[in-house]
Amino acid sequence: MSKAILELLGKDIVLGDGGYLVELERRGYVDSGSGREKVGTGRGSGQFTPEVAIENPDALAELHREFLNAGSQVLQALTFFATREKLTRAGYGQETEKINRAAVEIARAVAGDHALVAGSVSRTQLFESEGPSAAGHVRELFEEQIALLLDANVDFLILETFFRLDEMLIALECARGKGVPLMATISFRPLTIRSSDGHSPAECARILAGEGADMVGANCEQEPGRMMPILRAMREATSAVIAAQPAAFRTTDETASFTRMPQFPDALETIQVARQEFIDFAARAKTEGIAYLGGCCGCNAAYIKAMARGLAAPVAELKVEEAV
């Protein structure tokens, strides 16, 4: 079993990467789905699929290189939303094997001996559109994608951007016992106090760790300042490694998830968070018991570099008030 990520975590805080799809959308290689498909979770949510891995592999490799250069110790293969049903909705279902394999190969080629490669598995959106009756289909989709990622030889798996704990637990069941470490991070949406199926951050952390996740935490939807209370509650609930991959978009007390903001997806530039917040977040992570730090939507290499600076700097005060 490859334990490389756990060995790294045993030494120090690990710096990851993140934000691939939004960054590649800005660069013209990913479709945001704006105005064309309205699946389940609202406006513009139906696209952001990773066919760039086969359509423009050089663009993806370049972004990996930027993260590596910024200090990322883990490169996430761009397999987010690469379950067969989601790819089918984008017109790429037939390419499911090819996209998953290519994404891992591209990340591995850039990582070489300098970084680990994680496979990303995200929600199917079927729980949002069909409800829990989709569970059987969802399980088949996860089993297929996880087998593809393990075949492609990822170092570990990141199960991320799940709004519901019940769907996450299906993914976790499909992934555990397969010989790779597992990270499981919930995206709290629309509220930061519970998952969309009603579980508090503490409950999510405890249950995910109990069900075999080596690393638990939160990713996406909020900027670092607003995510911090979620992470604190999780850290108090479990001794598992706490992982954080916040978004770089400013949310509000009324709307605590950026994908529910009216600026999503076509005016995100207007709610972009400054890199300073990521410097402060990384500095604070050292005293908050957060052991894995990456980014999510809105981040690029500059934000990872900012976190590297924060990790090297004295502990700063995280100004949550300024974040809202």
What is the contact surface with Zn ion in residues (CB under 5 A)?
220, 296-297
Between 73 and 257, name the residue whose CB sits nearer to Zn ion. 257
Rounded Cα–Cα distance for residues 247 and 297 (Å): 5
CB of 125 closer than 8 Å to CB of 40 = yes
The 3-state DSSP class for residue 61 equals helix
- The pair of structure tokens assigned to 309 is 């600076």
Smallest gap, in angstroms, from Cβ of residue 249 to Zn ion?
A: 9
Between 145 and 185, name the residue whose CB sits nearer to Zn ion. 185
Between 73 and 259, name the residue whose CB sits nearer to Zn ion. 259
Q: Which residue has the tokens 């949406």?
A: 189
Smallest gap, in angstroms, from Cβ of residue 161 to Zn ion?
A: 6
Between 102 and 296, name the residue whose CB sits nearer to Zn ion. 296
Smallest gap, in angstroms, from Cβ of residue 223 to Zn ion?
A: 11
CB of 310 closer than 8 Å to CB of 224 = no
Between 101 and 277, name the residue whose CB sits nearer to Zn ion. 277
* Polymer length of the chain: 324
Smallest gap, in angstroms, from Cβ of residue 160 to Zn ion?
A: 8
- Supply the Cα-derived Rg of the chain in whole angstroms: 18
Q: Which residues contact 153 (CB under 8 A, 6 or more apart)?
A: 104, 108
Burial class, 143, CB count within 10 angstroms (exposed 0-12 / middle 13-18 / buried 19+)? middle
Between 111 and 296, name the residue whose CB sits nearer to Zn ion. 296
The sheet carrying 156-162 orders its strands as 14-15, 292-293, 241-245, 215-219, 182-186, 156-162, 116-122, 74-76
Smallest gap, in angstroms, from Cβ of residue 21 to Zn ion?
A: 8
Smallest gap, in angstroms, from Cβ of residue 317 to Zn ion?
A: 26
